[in-house]
Amino acid sequence: MVVACLGTMAGAPPAAAAAGTFQQVTGFGSNPGHLTMYTYTPADLPAGAPLVVALHGCTQSAEDYYTHSGWQKYADLWGFEVVFPQTDSSNNALSCFSWFDTAKDTRDQGEAASVRQMVNEAETQHGSDSHRIFVTGLSAGGGMTADLLADYPDVFAGGAVDSGLPAQCATTSAAASGCQYSDQKLSPAQWGDKVRGSHPGYPGPWPRVAIWQGSSDTTVNPVNGSELRDQWTDVWGIGQTASSTRSLPGGTTLSSYDDGTGKPAVELYSIAGMAHGLAVQPGSGTDQCGTTGTYYLSSICSSYYTALFWGLDGSADGGGTGSLPAPTGVQVGATTGTTVSLAWNAVDGAASYTVYRDGTAAGSVTGTAFTDTGLSGGASYRYTVAAVDAGGAVGASSTAVTATTTGSEPQCFTDTNYDHVAAGRAHRSGGYTYANGSNQNMGLYNVFVRHTLARTAPGYYLIADSGCPS
């Protein structure tokens, strides 16, 4: 935050080895906010995957957040890219995102504009699904998250504010401490007007917002969680009385505020006894993530529950609100040019199972096997399975498995690196060109280097300069 330092990350453990790539991306735009862009991209990320933007807190860095927050785990597990913007002391003495400065946190200005340019770059490089772009952040990064949701409701489908502030709570540095420590005594409508005024005339739809707040936070007063709840429920027009509440691990109470269809639009996670920081829960379980450190506090894996709320686990409706655990042992069986067979272990208490193909429900069965039909030959599909209880509540989704149908011959394309990128067969990063899917380095991004690329599956290309594979 601006007034209270979040502490340094000296001695932070190194990032765990992973199949994906964490790297800096340059040349992503005019960058009026003078930010640095980093990305984590899982191996074999398909086109049309979701995108998450994750903003660090004061005195922290993109690498700190990548290392501790747990987002890398779910990017690998469920198949999405993460952008980690970074600010530094040249922008703010404590390396805080400037959530309190209208020259930096409003639509198409300063840091907000730089983050928007990062989203554009990620969409260009990997063909991200423009309808599944999300933003989250801690503390000052949480305050900037709320501002970005208000600035760009046409860009972000959802957000998560962790120990942060309502959108446009302060418009000057001098006013920031008042927001951090004090009840601003505004009505829900007044809070909602700050969002509506950030992009005047925008008719909706609005982002779905998760709010995480510790009850013992002395850096960002817990009243900010209530104010965020008031702000975003007013924007949605759904009132401030919870539709439901339930208990989660780590002394966490989840209050859900549903839209007119019965789907949670705003969720408030109140963590009893937690101080200022991001809630993590180290461990190997699906619902465990992150590592502890300065302002990374062992309690509950906030990234897991946020990802469920957004539907990143592959559920069509955000799912994961039921109590049943994720099915285990999901396996791909026989495949043909048009079908994929799946099987999994039974879940106690399950009345049925929903199978999701690339995030969309493909079918529902009462048994533990399913055959998906009507598929394209030589195509790769990503599947998850969720158990459904007798009341229709969808539980957590399984680990994703990938299946490839048979029956497609490779197609080859010979062109310059520049034209490969323009045609969507490759992407650029740091002045170099990389084949989509395989991520093979093709050399400099220009019109003088030529390669033959073989398309062996939808969105997957290999360098084939020696000849098109048969």
Sign, CA torsion 415/421/426/431? positive
Measured between alpha carbons, how far is 160 from 162 in angstroms, rounded to an integer? 6
Would strands 133-138 and 158-162 be described as parallel, antiparallel, or unpaired? parallel
Contact assessment for residue 162 and residue 295, using Cβ atoms and an 8 Å cutoff: no
Q: What is the DSSP letter of 175?
A: H
Measured between alpha carbons, how far is 209 from 162 in angstroms, rounded to an integer? 11
Q: Where are the alpha helices (DSSP H) in 237-317?
A: 302-310
SS3 state of residue 140:
helix
Calculate the alpha carbon distances from 395 to 269, 365, 390 in Å.
Answer: 18, 15, 11
Quote the distance between the C-alpha of residue 211 and its chain's center: 14
Contact assessment for residue 24 and residue 36, using Cβ atoms and an 8 Å cutoff: yes
Q: Where are the alpha helices (DSSP H) in 56-172?
A: 62-68, 71-78, 110-126, 140-151
In sequence order, which residues have a C-beta less than 8 Å from that of residue 124 and are 6 or more positions away? 427
In sequence order, which residues have a C-beta less than 8 Å from that of residue 311 and are 6 or more positions away? 132, 317, 318, 319, 359
Looking at the annotation, which residues are catalytic?
139
Measured between alpha carbons, how far is 160 from 87 in angstroms, rounded to an integer? 19
Contact assessment for residue 56 and residue 84, using Cβ atoms and an 8 Å cutoff: yes
* 235 sits in which H/E element: helix 223-236
**Exposed, middle or buried by CB within 10 Å (0-12, 13-18, 19+), for 17?**
exposed
**Exposed, middle or buried by CB within 10 Å (0-12, 13-18, 19+), for 53?**
buried
